[in-house]
Amino acid sequence: MLALTSVAPAADIVDTAAAAGRFQTLVAAVKAAGLVDTVERARSLHGVAPTGRGLAKLPAGTVESLLQPENKAKLQTISHVSWYYQAR
């Protein structure tokens, strides 16, 4: 498990997570949940999430199911990925 932190308004935590190479599933989940704008607008953000390797240990089909449009609300409230932010 790794933590990503961004306190600089110019930093884009979604791009940072994508560039890290280990958070493709997290980035896909943030996008599927419709939270990109919320995350990018955050003045101070601390996210803690398992890497793609950690998420791969979930039962087969779990992540794929959560990324489906009909599971958007469930994905927004899932406890495996917690985002704490202060909006600008």
User: Could you report the per-residue pLDDT of 22-47, keeping only the tens digit for each?
Assistant: 888 888 988 998 888 888 877 666 66
Mean pLDDT within 13-23: 86
pLDDT at 51: 78
Question: What residues make up the domain containing 29?
Answer: 2-87
Instruction: Work out how many domains the chain is built from and give that number.
Output: 1
pLDDT at 1: 53
pLDDT at 82: 52
**Whole-Å CA distances, 20 to 2, 16, 27, 87:** 11, 6, 11, 24
Instruction: Give the span between the Cα atoms of 63 and 58, in whole angstroms.
Output: 8
pLDDT at 70: 94
| pTM of the complete model | 0.68
48 membership: H or E segment, kind and range: strand 42-49
